């Protein structure tokens, strides 16, 4: 198996149409997007552990994407990963 990225890892997962890949010390999450209002609320609590677009300066989603949905995060902690999964579950509407 060929692995490309910062670490040679095959860790990969999915949840609510989002894909999670293991990187150096964090998870990379990519998906269809978090609505701006929910992304901002989430950022207020988790913005230093779950970073918008992987930005090391931890800008708010409204500042960084100027009102558009956020579809890419770097997640630095297990607690942040758990909180992000819970956020996705609160947004996801199956079989609509």
Domain ranges of the chain: 25-91
Asked if residues 19 and 30 have their Cβ atoms less than 8 Å apart, the reply is yes
For the chain, what percent of residues have pLDDT higher than 90? 82
Kindly report the average pLDDT of the chain as a whole number. Answer: 91
* pLDDT value at 83 more than 60: yes
pTM, whole model, 2 decimals?
Answer: 0.88
Q: Between helices 78-91 and 36-46, what is the axis angle to 10°? A: 160
């Amino acid at each position: 198996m060929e692995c490309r990225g910062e670490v040679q890892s095959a860790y990969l997962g999915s949840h609510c149409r989002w894909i999670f890949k293991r990187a150096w010390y964090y998870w990379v999450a990519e998906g269809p997007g978090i609505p701006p209002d929910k992304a901002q609320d989430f950022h207020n609590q988790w913005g230093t552990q779950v970073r918008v677009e992987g930005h090391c300066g931890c800008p708010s989603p409204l500042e960084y994407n100027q009102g558009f949905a956020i579809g890419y995060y770097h997640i630095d902690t297990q607690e942040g990963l758990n909180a992000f999964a819970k956020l996705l579950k609160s947004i996801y509407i199956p079989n609509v």
